Structures are given as structure tokens and as C-alpha cells.
Amino acid sequence: MTAQAADDHAHSGQWAETSHCRVSAVRRFGAFTALELVAPAVTAKAAPGQFVMVTVPGGGFLLRRPLSLFSVRGDRAGLLVEARGAGSERLAGLEVGETVDLAGPLGSAFPTQGVTNALLVGGGIGCAPLQYLADELATGANVTAAFGFRDFRAARAAGAFAIERLWVASEDGAIGRHGTVMDVLAELDSPPNTVVYACGPAALIGAVQRWTLREGLRGYASLEAHMACGTGSCRGCVVDTTRGRLRVCSEGPVFALDEVTP
Amino acid sequence: MTAPLELDQVTLTVELGTLRLEHPLVDASGTFDVMEYARRYCGDFFADFPYAAYVPKTVTADARSGNPAPRVTETPAGMINAIGLENPGIDAWIQGLPKWAALRRPVIVSVGGNSPDQYAAVVRALEAHLESAPEGTAPRIEGYELNVSCPNVAGGLQIGADPAATASVVAACRAETTRFLVAKLTPNVSDVTVAARAAVEAGADGLSLVNTFKAMVLDRETLRPFLGNRTGGLCGPAIKPIALRMVAEVAQALPGVPLVGMGGVMSGLDALEFIACGATAVGVGAANFTGFEAPSRILAELRAELAARGFAGPALARGIALGA
């Protein structure tokens, strides 16, 4: 490359972007696929709650897909994928040895400082970032998790999680408690200093928000949104908050539970 | 065909009207937030800014909260968006200028509104600010791009689909500034040269085209419109052949008018195609969503594509698709 052409490319390597991350392990759980990728540039800086933008390999896909970090172990980044559309179907079908490009870690993280009792509340694919959070909290806090799934097929995702005190509910009663995650919360005894971490569809976030208000607990919510850029430019993923319309990709995905308006 | 050149024998500088650009690539408005890039960059992003000029997201006279979610989704070979011109309004926007005053590239401010008065109010407010702004507190604002793909309060039709309304908006802004003034044309018309001519006759120094194509995507479960706004603007590679045709038509109808061509530019060859159709500068939009390095990659590719064809600069390739 000539000096001039090198100058055109002066930006290479100055971004949190990693090309050709190899898929090192794949585990499938019903509608969900747990991927493990070799991504040292991501794992070196990641914190629970953050996400990555993942290219969909094979051509034909323009936009990257946002996926929460499901686990971080050494240089391995774990992602949990639910096949919802053509792009996520392709990602869910990845095999060991295939490669994808990642940008990240992106977005805000769950605050964990000083937390001694944590209650993790997840719904469906929204449970994904809570595993990484549980791993991080496990050294200094009592962690209880309550996850809700739609049906038996979705509930097989529970097998992807390794959290010591994990309560599962399914709406069809096929696994765990017959009902929603809110039914589980009603039966748990949460000490007053419990910090609640919620991730899932808007209806779940709203229900958890009302519940914490009644119980006098504080907490955080990680929100889902359709994204184009994932890096703050397009304003495609904004949500209403008490601070105005904010970008899930940039100011979020983690917000204080009392500032979101699901 | 001329013999290939070495990469460093290619000079990318172009003159877009009165603007001297280091190379032909600019960002398409709304696809590249300089502050978001700057905070993710390991270096001085204002010095290393990859585009030759910066076109920020459209600003309007009053603050706008934009459209309800969802606002974006992928489509075959492209994407659709309905953001709804979310922006803080010109007064708050001006307050934010010191944060990116260190940007060393010229800025072309994208202006929106629903009437000629609303467009002119934005230009007037900014001109007044620049007149009195202390040195080093504002970036180099050298031009305006009038985003006429907004509904007209008088009638509801897109301003850009109405040549007379387009001319009124251009004339109202022309009266407020001597800076480089570009009208960004909508492709949602049967003959894009009509509004193009109206804009130039009303005082536009140049034209940019195309904005997005009005389109609709359905939710595959419910078969209802997917976007919160029901319809949105289609962009990406799917629209490139139509955009090339429109740029060529305007270049042929209005020779000598500086054009910023855009629509689905993903590679250096795509950019060169717009230049071959008569564009002086080329806008890059959806490609910015594919990775941080898209602009520098596309620029390096453009240099290589020019060199491979023996073109020592973009001007030598400009308009070659327009001949017989």
C-alpha cells in the first residue's frame, strides 16, 4: 500500500471492532442458540448489560444485529440468539469454525457497585444479559433469578443458564411454575436492600417497575429495541424516558427502572 | 481505456461549487453522528474525520420528538426508516456547536421544515449566531442542504414533490445566506428534473439526490404495517440503480450544476458510478450502519477504482456515463 492509500485507511484498528471472530462453541436449547466466540478485543472491555453488533454472514444482509453479552470467560464472548427473522435465523444456525464480525462492547452496563442482594428478572431472550450479570455479581452478592418463558420450546432456554438460585415460570405450565415471572416474584422474599435487574419485553419491564415501586425496591432495566446502526447515529431505537427520548443503543440499553416508561 | 495508475498518482480533491473538498465522499444526513463517533474513537476524531464534509442530521426551527417505534428495519438489499426528523430545534442545536467546534472539515447543515418560513428561520438563526460566535466555538459551517422531503403544512404533500413549493423554500433561504446552498431532492416524483430546475432557478448553488423512497414493510406475523409511522423511506443497495438514473437525468438536464449523488453507496465502485453519472460529490448513508470503517474503506476503494481505470482524479471520470 502506498503512503497516500495508507492515509485513506488511517482509521483502521482505532475502533472497538473485531473482524472474523471464530465461533468456538455452539449449544442449542429449543428456540435459542448459545454461541461462544473468540473475541478478546470485546471481552477485555466488556461489562454486564452491554451488547455487540454482529454481522450476519453469507451476504444478503445489510444491517448488523444487536445481541447482549450472555457470558464473558477469558477471551470468549457468549451470545444467546433467538431465531425471530431471517437474520437471527442465520445467526442461530452458525456452526463451530464459522466467523462473524463484531462491534463492541456497546451501550451502558448494569451498575453493580455495593450490591449485596440482587434479584434478576428476565423474560424470554431478555434473560440473556442476566447470566453475565449473575456471573459478575456472584463473588459479592446473593443472587436470585426469576425467568419467564412463553412455552415449552422457549423454556428449554432455561438449560442455557447456570445460576444457583434460578426460578422459572412458563405461561403454558410446561416447565417450572405455571404462570408469569410476576407470579414468581410474588412468592419470593426480597430483603429491603435488594437491587432489581430486569430485562425483557416492555410489558415485563412495566410489571416489574410497578412491583418494585410497591415493594420499595430500586433497580435497573435493560430495554430491547429495533436498531439500525447500534452506535448512536440513526436514532432508530429511541425510547421515552423521564429524561426525554433516549437511544437504547447509546444512552442505554440499561436505564434506571424508575426512569423508563414502558 | 487508459493505462492504470499507481494509487498515489490519483488526486481525490474536488470542487463542489465554492466548497473545496479533499475527496468526493460526504455522509448522508442522519446516518453519521460526529459526537457518537468521536467518543468511540481511539484518537482525535475531529482531526481524522473520514468524510470530506460533514452533513449532520436535519435540524428544524422547533424541537421535534420524531415518530413512534419501531422506526427501522432491514428490507431485501436495504433498509427502511421513519425517524421523523427528531431533533432538538435550532436554538438547542446551536448551543451544542462548541462540542464539535474542533472538526476540521467543512459542515453542510441539513435544514428541514414544513413551510418556507420554517426553513428560513433555521438559516437566519444560524447566520446570526455565526456572525457573533467567538473564534473556535463553532465548526466551519460552509453551506446548507435543504431537506425538502418534509410534508408541506399548506397541503400536506412533500415540499420536494411540488416544484413551486421547492422554489419557495430555496428562495426563502437564499435571502438569508450567501453560503453554498443545496436542495436535497426527493425521488418520489415522476420527473426529478422539474424540481431540480425549480430549485436552481430559485437560487440553489447545487443539488443533492436522492433522498429515500417512500415505502412500506409489513409485520410478518400480524400483516399490519411494521413501522410506527406506517410508511418510511427505503434506502440501501436496493435503490442504487434508480438513484443513478435520476442523478444522470439531472446532470443531463442541468449541466454545470454541482451534484451530490447518493443512494445505496456501499463500495468505492458504487461511488465511482455516481461520479460517472455526473456527481461531483457522493453521499454515503446506510453503509455507515455496517461498520465504523465504512467511510475509510469506501474512500480507499474509490482511489483504487480510479487508479485502475487510469483516472488521475474524479473530475476525469465525471459524467462519462452521460455520453452516447
Residue extents of the structural domains in chain B: 25-291
Judge if A84 and A147 occupy the same domain: no
Q: Report whether pLDDT(A67) > 70.
A: yes
B150 classed as catalytic: yes
Residue B169 confidence (pLDDT): 98
pLDDT over threshold 90, residue A31: no
Query: How confident is the model at residue A8, as a pLDDT?
Result: 47
How far B264 CA lies from chain A's nearest CA (Å)? 11
Q: Which residues contact B1 (CB under 8 A, 6 or more apart)?
A: B309, B310
pLDDT computed for residue A174 by the predictor: 87
Binary contact (B289, A64; C-beta < 8 A): yes
pLDDT classification of A84: cutoffs 50, 70, 90: confident
Residue A234 has a pLDDT of: 97
Beta-strand pair A99-106/A17-29: antiparallel
* Portion 152-191 of B in contact with A at CB < 8 A: none
Mean per-residue pLDDT, A46-73: 95
Is B6 close to A229, i.e. CB distance below 8 A? Answer: no
Q: Quick check: A237 and B71 CB within 8 A?
A: yes
Asked if A163 and A205 sit in the same domain, the reply is: yes
Residue A196 within any structural domain of the chain: yes
- Chain A, 70-89: which have a CB under 8 Å from a chain B CB? 85, 87
- pLDDT exceeds 50 at position A251: yes
Q: Could you tell me if A254 lies within 8 Å of chain B, comparing CB atoms?
A: no
Residues of B in contact with A232 (CB under 8 A): 33, 35-36
CATH superfamily of B25-291: Aldolase class I (3.20.20.70)
Taking an 8 Å cut-off on Cβ atoms, the answer to whether B290 and A63 are in contact is yes
Same domain, A122 and A97: no
Q: Which of B42, B150, B173, B235 is the catalytic position?
A: B150
User: Does A40 reside within a domain?
Assistant: yes
In angstroms, the CA A146 to CA A123 distance is: 9
> Which B residues, 216 through 255, put their C-beta within 8 Å of a C-beta on chain A?
220, 236-237
Other beta carbons less than 10 A from residue B245's beta carbon: 15
**Nearest C-alpha of chain A: how many angstroms from B254?**
32
Element (H, E) at A23: strand A17-29
Q: Using 50 as the pLDDT threshold, list the residues of chain B that sit under it.
A: none
Residues with Cβ < 8 Å from B142, sequence gap 6 or more? B18, B19, B53, B106, B107, B108, B179, B180
Are residue A91 and residue A186 in the same domain, yes or no?
no
CATH number of the domain bearing residue A44: 2.40.30.10
Q: What is the DSSP letter of A200?
A: S
* Amino acid type, A75: D
A236 and A134, same structural domain?
yes
How deeply is A12 buried, as exposed, middle or buried, from its count of CB atoms within 10 A (0-12, 13-18, 19+)? middle
Q: Is the confidence at residue A2, as pLDDT, over 50? A: no
Looking at the fold, whether A211 and A136 belong to one and the same domain comes out as yes
- Probe site for chain A from B74, B217, B301 (most A CB atoms < 10 A): B74
Give the pLDDT band (50/70/90) at residue A14.
low
- Answer yes or no: is pLDDT of A120 > 50: yes
Nearest CB to B7; choose among A5, A55, A87: A5
Q: Are A228 and B299 inside 8 Å of each other by CB?
A: no
Separation in Å, CA A249 to CA A104, A232, B34, B113: 11, 6, 16, 27
Q: Mark yes or no for CB contact A238/B86 under 8 Å.
A: yes
Instruction: Give a yes or no: residue A99 inside a domain.
Output: yes
Residue A126 DSSP class: G
pLDDT at A175 over 90: no
What backbone phi and psi angles, to 5 degrees, belong to A93?
A: -90, 5
Q: Which amino acid is at A28?
A: R
Cα-Cα-Cα-Cα torsion A249, A251, A254, A260, nearest 10 degrees, comes to -110
Which residues in B304-323 are b (16+ Cβ under 10 Å) and which e? bbbbebebebbeebbbebee
Longest Cα–Cα distance of chain A, Å, equals 68
Same domain, A132 and A198: yes
Query: Into how many domains does chain A fold?
Result: 2
User: Is position A1 within any domain?
Assistant: no
Kindly state the average pLDDT of the residues A96-105. Answer: 95
Residues 6+ apart with CB under 8 A from A87: A56, A61, A63, A65, B74
Q: Is the peptide bond between A253 and the residue preceding it cis, with omega within 30 degrees of 0?
A: yes
Question: Quick check: pTM over 0.90?
Answer: yes
Domain boundary (A106, A135, A163) is at A106
The pLDDT value recorded for residue A9 is 42
Interatomic CA distance for residues B218 and B226, integer angstroms = 5
Domain that holds residue A77: 17-106
Q: Which of B6, B42, B297 comes nearest A14 by C-beta?
A: B42
Residue for grid cell 453469507: A58
Q: Using a CB-CB distance cutoff of 8 angstroms, which residues of chain A are in contact with residue B86?
A: 235, 238, 245
- Identify whether residues A55 and A152 lie together within a single domain: no
Band of residue A141 on the pLDDT scale cut at 50, 70, 90? very high
Task: Check pLDDT > 70 for residue A3.
Answer: no
CB A155 within 8 Å of CB A168: yes
Question: Do A158 and A50 have their domain in common?
Answer: no
Tell me the average pLDDT across A213-239: 96
> Distance between CA atoms of A132 and A129, rounded to whole angstroms?
6
Which A residues, 1 through 20, put their C-beta within 8 Å of a C-beta on chain B?
A: 1-5, 8-12, 14-17
Q: Which residue, of A106, A127, A145, is where some domain finishes?
A: A106
